[in-house]
Every structure is written in C-alpha cells, then in structure tokens.
Structure 1
Amino acid sequence: MERGSHKFYHVHGFHSRKFLDTYCSDKTEMPHTCIRYPMEKFHNAFCSGDFKGDVLMDFSIGPVIHHLYSAQKYFRNIILLKPTEHCILEVKKWMNSRTGAFDWSHTSTFAAEMAGNSDQCEEKEVGLRAAITHVVKFDPNLENLTDPIVLPQADCLTSCTILEVISKDLDDFVKNCRRLSKLLKPGGSLLYYGVLNGTFYMVGGERFHMVKYNESNLRSILSNEGFVITHLEVSQRKAESDLSDFDSVVLCTAYKQ
C-alpha cells in the first residue's frame, strides 16, 4: 500500500478503544515495546531526580497514560495533549472511573512493582488521576498547537510515539518538533520515546501512516531545534507482528537550551 492511501491519526482518527485493546491491553502482541519498556525507562528517568517541577506536558499517541505513573511524585500538574475528541473522551472516561473505561490494572500493577510496593497498584491509578489537571486538544497545523488556549510553558515534556504519526515526512517532523519545543521552558527537560524505521501501524484493520526516521535523524533534528541530548538508547524490536513494520525503539532524554 502506498503512503498516500494510509490514514493519518490526527486527520482521520482511529477508534481509541480499538487502539488500546490492540497495543495497551494485557493481551497485546508487543508487551515489551508498548508497555514494559517505556514504563521502565520513564520510571527510571523520573526516579533519577532529573525530571521534576510544577508542570509536565504529555504529547503521546492515543489515550495512553501508563508511562506517567511515576511522574505523579515529581510534578504537581500533568497536562495531556490529544488531537481528537474521541481520544479525549476515552481518557476522561478512565479519569472519572466511568463504567466501561479501559482496564489499566495490568500497568498499574507493574508500576507498583517497580516502585517496590506491589500492593498499592490501585493507589497508582488514583494518584495519576489526581495529578492530571487538564486534557487539552491540539492541532498540529497551528503554530500555537492549543490555540486559542494558551498553556504555561512546561518544566518537562514527555512524548510517546506521536511525532512519527502526525508528520507527513521528515520536514514536517522538524516543524512539529519545533512547535512542540515552544511548549517547553528554556532549560526544561524532554523525555522522548519513539519507534524507528516504521512506515505504518494498524488499528481496527485500517492502516495508518508513520514517518520513517532513524537514530541519526532524531539526533540531528533535536540538536538543530536547540536540544542537548543527555542520553539516547536504541532497542531492537522483541516481537514479530503484522501490526507495524518498525524495527526498533528509541528512548531519549534531553534539555532545551
């Protein structure tokens, strides 16, 4: 299938629950890539003490929240940015503990285990719900992504597999990175997780676009946009699946000059 026939997440949208069932449930085909690895890396980063402050802004694919459990100890306000109303509604359904909300208990259990208090998994979800103060819609076509809403600049920006799915090509990736950078204070921290060398991912039997980039591309883009990389690691994909064709994942920490 040619790129032009792929759907775009922020334009066409996907069914948020189908996305969660496919990539974030306890039955996902890629538990390491989608759940355990990003959770472990974000947990270690937050517990290092290098990521803390008043405002954390998260810019991630779908209605995902599981990479943020450890952040609740280090930030007073967590703001989620999402491109579709359907995604926002799915997040708020979980935040308000509504009937039919997605079951994140397998991730909160893992978060509690990493924190050394495996009997407090429910408290992990309660704490994260309380820490998330806003869920805001963004439009990647706008210079101010959240226009007309003006948000305070963040002390920390977290990003999970979003730039590659909202960008048409590498030039667009650069533009989106630049707009994202405007949301971060000078000296603020970036915690980035993405997938490398992929061109598509599947949700509900539909194929969605993903821009192909590699480690060298990411290093160059972040450096050119005023970030100083403090750590970057690449991990090869652990499980085969027809859901997506990426070959590895990348975890990067940086700060904005």
Structure 2
Amino acid sequence: MAVSFNDKDIYNQKFNPRAHLDRYYSSKDGALVNDKYLEFVLKQLAKTFTAGVVEGETLIDIGTGLSIYQLLSACEVFKEIIVSDYSALCRQEFEKWLKKHPGTFDWSPVVRYVCDLEGQSEKSTQKEEKLRQRVKEILKCDVTQSQPLESSLPLSADCLLSSLCLEAACKDHDTYRRAIKNISTLLKPGGHLVMMGALEDTYYTVGDHRFSVLFYDAGFVRNALTGAGYIIKDFQVCPRPKDSAHSFSDYKGFFFVVACKETSSLTVLERIPIYGNPSFENSNQLNCGALKVSNKAIEPEERGTTGLLMPQDDNYKPEQNNGFNIAPGALPDW
C-alpha cells in the first residue's frame, strides 16, 4: 500500500523514539539487526574511519535521530562531533543518552561489537565515554533548507555523516538532489560525505504509524552525488535477506557510500559509472584525499568501488555483494 508523503512536523507529533529503538535496534530481535543492516554498516564504518580513509577535526552528523552506532568508529578520529535532527523528540532522546539519564536505550552490545571490529575489545567500557566527550553540540537540522543547520556560527566540517535520513525527509527526487547540495554547503572542499540509506523503500513503521520513505535505487544515489560535485570513492550494497519476514518496512536493501567533495582544482573528464571501470583521458593524476586516479583503467579491487550487483541483475548471487560477505548466520554474537 502506497504511503503519502509525511509532512516533516509529523516527527514531532507521531514519532515514538523508544518504540523505534526497540523495534529496529534491539539486540534480541531488532529488524535492522536481523536484516544485517547494522552488521553491514558497522563493518564499513570501522574500515572507513580506522584505516585513515576519512579523517579530520570536525564531523557533522546529519539526521542523527536517536542513534549512536554510526558515530562509534568516527569518535576515534574526529575531535569534534556535531549531531543534528529535525525532530525535537529525537534530539531530546539523544541528549538523554548523552547525559546518562536512567532507562535510556542500551547500546552496549553494539559498542562491544564495534570495539571487536577495531581490535580494541578491552576498551568497550571506554568507547561510549569517548563519544560523549567528542559530541559538542546538538542542533536542529532541516535538509530541505539552503542553510540546513540552526547555528549562530558558520559551520565547516571535514566530514559529513548521514544514516537513513534523506529518504525520510525528501518528498521527491528533485528534493533529494537539492538536499544533497544543501548539506554540502557544510562540507569543506576535499572533505568527505559518508552516507547510508535504504534502497527501493516506500515506508517504515513506528508503533502503529507508517512513515513515508522516498523510493530510489542505487543508480539514483550515485547520480545525485556526482551531480552535486562528488567523486565516489566507495559504494557498497547489502541486499535484504531472503528470509526477512517482517513488514515493518519494505526496503529491498541498503547502501553505504564514501564520496569526496571536489575542489576547484579537480577536473573530472569521466565520472565513475555504475558498472565497469572508470577511465580518464589525460595523464594528470586527480587527487581527492586518499584517492588518486591516473589515466590507467582501475580494477575494482584497486579502487574499492566494485560493479554494483543488485537482485535484478542476471549475475547477482546473494553471497556476492561488492566485497561484503553476507553469509547465512553471519550476525554478530550479541
């Protein structure tokens, strides 16, 4: 059943923060735990931040919502983290965690898993405290506005992070493209956008209420990013498991992307396509953070952006997914 677009103020009226956390992130039966989304993005985030692919002083999280999982690896790299959300209810719930209010959601199984990924199992008790120290501000955010953050001071980040946000905030594809450009005003040239989202999704539920989600595929996301002046450095897809039986949402999969904001000195003659290898006609190297592209064709294992395989492709195999092995029963032992 199609869901009409929700006005953004519905998130201050109908959204139940704790019900959302319990339904999607519970270590026992959370939908995003069972569907391997959390495992998928935590592995990608740990690889991105701990390997030095993305680093700097300041990170802004766009549409933080109620979650801390997306910030756990980032707090090892960035000294200043600014979180944001449109919903006052979500900002209040995040502040409860920040101030250690009793009864807040228990993220400790996720924290332990991230520490294991980073090879720092013994530091799991310190991880949340480090993140609390890194968070400097909680701001209101509206990605549909040309100045998306409500701040008294101009903000400029080395990295923008966003998880499951834009598809819920944008009513159509044009609005999504503008939203990418709006948040990009907060990012320094040469800085990185790290983004995660749902693919081919139309709704998700919290309690008894259905919230609308913008339907798009992986190709649309890539085109929106390159159209906004980004060079895609890594793009990964995690299909929804075939045995996923819940009806809390109708997503077909998830994506994870790392993209670099072009500087004026970069001239890209041909952008990376969805399938196949990129090529460039000149012999000068193009530099974007850790990315260096020359005039030779780059093999998938070299550039970290393999051909995108989705369920509709003839060559698609469930166990093959851009270098991420989604084997049955591969959930973390939480």
Radius of gyration: which is bigger? 2
Q: Give me the whole-angstrom Cα distance separating, in 2, the residues matched to 1:2 and 1:111.
A: 36
The question of whether the paired residues in 2 share the 8 Å contact of 1:140 and 1:176 is answered with: yes
Tell me what 1:7 maps to: 6
- Structure with the higher strand share, 1 or 2: 1
Contact persistence 1:30–1:241 (CA under 8 A): no
Aligned-pair distance for 1:127? 0.7
Is residue 159–residue 191 contact of structure 2 (8 Å, CA) maintained in 1? yes
Q: Partner of 1:160 in structure 2?
A: 163
Give the structure 2 partner of residue 19 of structure 1.
Answer: 20
Instruction: Work out whether 1:252 is the aligned partner of 2:257.
Output: yes
Matched, 1:203 2:206: yes
Aligned equivalents of 1:85, 1:30: Cα separation in 2: 23
**How many matched pairs?**
255
More helix by share: 1
Q: Deviations over 1:13-71 (max 9, x none)?
A: 11111111111121303314442211111111001202111100111352111121111
Cα distance between partner residues in 2 of 1:62 and 1:216: 26
What SS does structure 2 have at the residue aligned with 1:106?
helix
Pick from 241, 248, 254: which aligns with 1:243? 248
Cα shift at 1:182: 0.8
Distance 1:240 1:149, change over 3 A: farther
Question: How do 1:26-65 residues align onto structure 2 when only pairs under 5 Å count?
Answer: 26-27=27-28, 28-31=30-33, 32-60=35-63, 62-65=65-68
5+ unaligned residues in a row in structure 1: which ranges?
none
Separation of aligned partners in 1, 2:64 and 2:253: 17
Measured in 1, the distance between the counterparts of 2:86 and 2:204 equals 17
| 2:196 pairs with one of 180, 193, 197 | 193
Considering Cα pairs closer than 8 Å and 6+ residues apart, tell me whether 1 or 2 has the greater RCO. 1
**Stretches (4+) displaced over 3 A:** 147-151
- Alignment root-mean-square deviation, CA: 1.5
Query: Residue 3 of structure 1 aligns to which amino acid in structure 2?
Result: V
Does structure 1 residue 172 correspond to structure 2 residue 166? no
Task: Report the equivalent of 2:318.
Answer: none
Note if contact 1:19-1:62 (Cα within 8 Å) is conserved in structure 2.
no
Amino acid at match of 1:251: F
Between the aligned partners of 1:115 and 1:244, the Cα distance in structure 2 is 31
User: 2 CA distance for matches of 1:240 and 1:11?
Assistant: 30
Once residues 178 and 51 of structure 2 are traced to their aligned partners in structure 1, the CA distance between those partners, rounded to angstroms, is 30
TM-score of the aligned structures, taking structure 2 as reference length: 0.73
Label 1:43 to 1:166 Cα distance change in 2 as closer, same or farther (>3 A).
same
Could you tell me how far apart the structure 1 residues matched to 2:22 and 2:255 are? 23
Amino acid at match of 2:249: S
Structure 2: tracts of 5 or more residues without a match: 263-334
